[in-house]
Amino acid sequence: MTASTITGAHEGTAATALPPLRRNWRFQLLWIGSASALTGVTAADVAYPLVILALTGSPAWAGLFGVFQAAATVLFGLPAGVLLDRYDRRKVLIAAETLRVTATGSVVLAGALGSLMLAHLLVVAVALGAAQPLGGAARMLLVRAVVPAEQLTAALTQDELRVGIAELAGPPLGGFLYGLGRAVPFLFSTVGFAISLVCALIVRPQQPTATDPAASLRTVFDGVRTLWQAPTLRMALLLVTALNACGAPLSLCVIYRLREQSTPAWAIGAALAGSAVGGLVGAALVGFLHRRFRPGTLLIGIIALEAPVIAGLAVARGPWATGALLLAGMLGIPALSVLLDVLIFRQVPDAQRGRTISATMTVIGLGIPLGTGVTGLLLQTLGGTGTLLVLAGGIALAALRAAVGPALRGATWPSTGE
């Protein structure tokens, strides 16, 4: 079976009997809520390091915020999978969004009172990190509950547009709003989470979303064990983990380097929006790339192309050149996201899917706290240019290691969809 079958050709006649996806109000409402929340996240992601740099003057402390957030995401990732396979996934999403509204709202209140402190921001980082695997995986599972299997690939492609739109609008808004006041970006983020919460309260899947009552904490490692026993999946997960370790700190590096060049906050936000434009263009390339390449070849190629992009960021000057490179680096990421869904998430029973999704997100997320923490220290000692060159070398070595082994190069698309 060819890649085109997996990514859309199998939707054929069955899909024609279904209402178009744009008329699926449950999915569209979930999409609106998630887009609102993600736009708020991307705006706040610009503001958090700027606030911490203003409070402490230390890029290492700014990096520590990301470490705390990512570490909490990893720590809560596996238990989140068990909860999602045991309890109503809609209620889990509601709880996660309530936590995020409360956490960011506390930053707004502290900012309005002029009492923002580093310790408070680090607690917020932990709360946001803990909510991420719960809300993210719950939403992915709810999409499957409200979208027919024949339309799932189309829904995932629209989801990649959500990411691109949010990342396009969020960073410039974050820089602009920060210029209006330190607390303003966090107010915007709180409103985004609140919209997502309201959408989750309204949407009720036609089928029950409670799943496996036998799931318990003893099964917390089941998803990891399943993934680790397959050589192809193991290498794929390690490669994406390396991508996260070297790619997740790029925003911090870009912010730090542009501040070294006395770039205003709004221009920093505009530069970071280059990633969003690349994601939007990349979403249109998903079908072509999946039809043209085998999954292993596609994965290795996407990772390998990140090395020259990151190296280019080390020498680029000004927000426009930086934004163009960030755009180039995002072109393959939507195809990579759908690739993971096709190879892993659609191949497991629904009763185990929460653990599998959470295990995947946890494993590939392990690189984020390590990469972000090390990057903060590297920025302190090597500066922006040296740090970016180190990251470029790291991702190049990871791609080379995957390319010389047989596990990924011989991988083929699975013969079944959902």
Task: Considering only residues 101 and 337, tell me which one the structure prediction assigns the higher pLDDT.
Answer: 101
Q: In this structure, how many other beta carbons lie within 10 angstroms of the beta carbon of residue 260?
A: 12
**CA dist list (Å): 260 to 78, 149, 379:** 39, 49, 11
Task: Considering only residues 128 and 407, tell me which one the structure prediction assigns the higher pLDDT.
Answer: 128
Residues 6+ apart with CB under 8 A from 329: 247, 250, 275, 278, 305, 306, 309, 310
pLDDT class of 414 with cuts at 50, 70, 90:
low
pTM: 0.67
What pLDDT shows up at residue 6?
Answer: 31
Phi-psi bin for 216: left (phi > 0), alpha (psi -120 to 50), beta?
beta
For 187-242, strand residue ranges (E) read: none
CA distance linking residue 180 with residue 381, whole number of Å? 32
pLDDT at 204 over 70: yes
Task: Considering only residues 206 and 392, tell me which one the structure prediction assigns the higher pLDDT.
Answer: 392
Task: Considering only residues 172 and 300, tell me which one the structure prediction assigns the higher pLDDT.
Answer: 300
Percentage of the chain modeled with pLDDT above 90: 19
**CA dist list (Å): 138 to 133, 154, 220, 350:** 8, 19, 16, 12
Angle between helices 319-330 and 265-284 (to 10 degrees): 30
What pLDDT shows up at residue 322?
Answer: 92
Closest CA to 338 of 415, 278, 292, 282: 282
Closest CA to 211 of 133, 150, 136, 138: 138
Q: pLDDT tens-digit profile of 61-120?
A: 877 887 888 788 878 877 777 788 778 888 999 999 999 999 999 999 998 888 888 899
pLDDT at 150 over 60: yes
* CATH C-level class of 3-409: mainly alpha
Task: Tell me the mean pLDDT in the region 140-145.
Answer: 84
CA distance linking residue 374 with residue 382, whole number of Å? 11
Closest CA to 358 of 149, 15, 8, 82: 82
**What are the residue boundaries of the structural domains of the chain, listed by start?**
3-409
CA distance linking residue 276 with residue 272, whole number of Å? 8
Closest CA to 79 of 222, 196, 238, 237: 222
What pLDDT shows up at residue 226?
Answer: 65
Q: pLDDT tens-digit profile of 245-276?
A: 888 888 888 888 888 888 887 788 788 878 87
Q: In this structure, how many other beta carbons lie within 10 angstroms of the beta carbon of residue 149?
A: 14
pLDDT class of 311 with cuts at 50, 70, 90:
very high
Task: Considering only residues 161 and 375, tell me which one the structure prediction assigns the higher pLDDT.
Answer: 375
Task: Considering only residues 263 and 197, tell me which one the structure prediction assigns the higher pLDDT.
Answer: 197
Task: Tell me the mean pLDDT in the region 332-359.
Answer: 73
Task: Tell me the mean pLDDT in the region 182-202.
Answer: 93
